[in-house]
Amino acid sequence: MSEFDAIVVGSGFGGSVTAYRLTEAGLRVCLLERGKSFPPGEFPRSPHDTATNFWDPKHNLYGMFDIWSFSSLEAVVCSGLGGGSLIYANVLLRMPDDWFVNEKADGSCEEWPVTRQKLDKHYDRVENMIGVQEFPIGQHPYSETPKTLAVREAARQIDLEPELVPLAITFANPNQPAVPGVPIDGGENNLHHKPRYTCRLVGECDIGCNFGSKNSLDLTYLSKAKDCGAEIRTCSEVRSLERTDSGFFVTYKRHPEGSRHTVTANRLILSAGALGTPYLLFRNVSAFPGLSTALGQRFCGNGDFLGLVLRAKSHENGTVSPRILDPSLGPVITTAMRMRDKLDGGTGRGFYIEDAGYPQFVNWLIDGGSQRTLVLAGRIPRPRLESNRVEGLLHPAKRNHAVHRRQARLQLYRKPAMAAQHAHHRSSARRSTDGTAPGRGCSK
């Protein structure tokens, strides 16, 4: 008999929602996550710890940031309990109704088999589990967040209505006004048993929130899964998958010691991410004779474009003065404007423009740093970034000529940057792989 009813590989949005719902339904679930657990307060902040916060086991690095490089695509994904939710920007947009289509070459659209109406009840459930709140723009001190005000003002200037995006962040306790840095009611009821505090507006969402204000998956779905009896094994990287008469035989490597372990189950759920899952499948093709030849093909980025607003200005009573946007004040993203597309009365493709901030220490580097300071602070030893081999990922026929390794670059800017803007393209919403997107996670 198998030890478990189901093995779930990976603890990002796909894995944690699945693990919870299966455990809740009474199945014996084992979740295997290659990365470490990062309780609030344990996300690295010092220069040394940050420089080693990368995923590269060959160089004894077991940190969060896993950088993949392909010939025309580079991707950052997260390794850790909670997957991408540890570093994502907390935005849980529902995809607009009109975008549930495939555009054809002749410009016509083909409806998807699933509609927004069908998904709404699942969106509701996920938002309820994760705990969505809006940025409390109507209240001090939130009402003075310069980057948010600037995006809202810009939207109105081009006749668009700015919207507050649903965020997986706790700003306020239930039925209380929002206050930065107060204990979250029942906050310590999580698998780390660590207290949590409301958002302190420090712009650190993308490097892990040390105050537990971000409602990441370890603090939500995975804590619930554990309460229901799921077995969660961190530092456990799945390497090989074999079939048995009654299910699957999975071998994983424990980090950092390197010991190998096995586990069996009747069902296997691969939720190791858009890159991690195909990688695992290619390593184990013999266990899956029916695999499609399309595996490993037709990848694209998630459609996000980052831009920096430089030398912003205020125009008042005929006077022009510098406009301080203070990108480190607030969570990374607070607000958006939606550019209409041809499906809803505009022209071209639709997308969202959002504000985007970064942590205070980046501000110091950008505003005050000499070139040497920037180079030193941004230096990541070359081997760490180069060592992520991707040869195994693409379809075997395409490997030799389609893939090459390239050093990922950390770009830092010397000129004063006032705020970053983040355009969330329509294709991004379509392909979003977070728990709110079609076909991902919202299992019941």
Ligand X SMILES: Cc1cc2nc3c(=O)[nH]c(=O)nc-3n(C[C@H](O)[C@H](O)[C@H](O)COP(=O)(O)OP(=O)(O)OC[C@H]3O[C@@H](n4cnc5c(N)ncnc54)[C@H](O)[C@@H]3O)c2cc1C
Among 363, 433, 438, 442, binds ligand X (CB under 6 A): 433
CA distance 37 to 218: 8
Point out which span in 79-87, 172-180, 256-264, 312-320 binds ligand X (CB under 6 A). Answer: 79-87
Region near ligand X per CB under 6 A, out of 9-17, 117-125, 339-347, 378-386 = 9-17
Closer residue to ligand X, CB minimum distance, 178 or 420: 420
Rounded CA separation 157/45 (Å): 39
Antiparallel, parallel or unpaired: β 4-9 and 260-270: parallel
Q: Does residue 271 interact with ligand X by CB under 6 A?
A: yes
Tokens of 229: 């009896």
Tokens 């509609």 correspond to what residue? Answer: 115
Residues contacting 151, CB < 8 A, separation 6+:
162, 334, 335, 336, 337, 353, 354, 355, 421
* Closer to ligand X by Cβ: residue 285 or 375: 285
Question: By CB under 6 A, is residue 273 in contact with ligand X?
Answer: yes
Q: Which is nearer to ligand X, 16 or 145 (CB)?
A: 16
121: amino acid identity, one letter? K
Best CA proximity match to 6, nearest among 312, 248, 240, 252: 248
Residues 202-261 that bind ligand X (CB under 6 A): 206, 237-238
Query: Minimum CB separation from ligand X for residue 401, in Å?
Result: 26
One-letter amino acid identity for 300?
C
Minimum CB–partner distance for residue 428 and ligand X (Å): 8
The rounded distance, in Å, linking the Cα atoms of 390 and 52 is 21
For ligand X, which is the closer residue by CB, 88 or 211?
Answer: 88
Q: Is 9 a binder of ligand X (CB under 6 A)?
A: yes
Phi and psi, residue 176, nearest 5°: -120, 155
Taking CB under 6 A as the criterion, which residues in 11-30 touch ligand X?
11-15
**Rounded to whole angstroms, how far apart are CA atoms 138 and 144?**
9
Nearer Cβ to ligand X (120/144): 120
Asked if 77 touches ligand X (CB under 6 A), the answer is yes
Of 19, 27, 91, 209, the residue at the interface with ligand X (CB under 6 A) is 91
Residues near ligand X, by CB under 6 A = 9-15, 32-35, 76-80, 83-84, 87-91, 206, 237-238, 271-274, 276, 280, 432-434
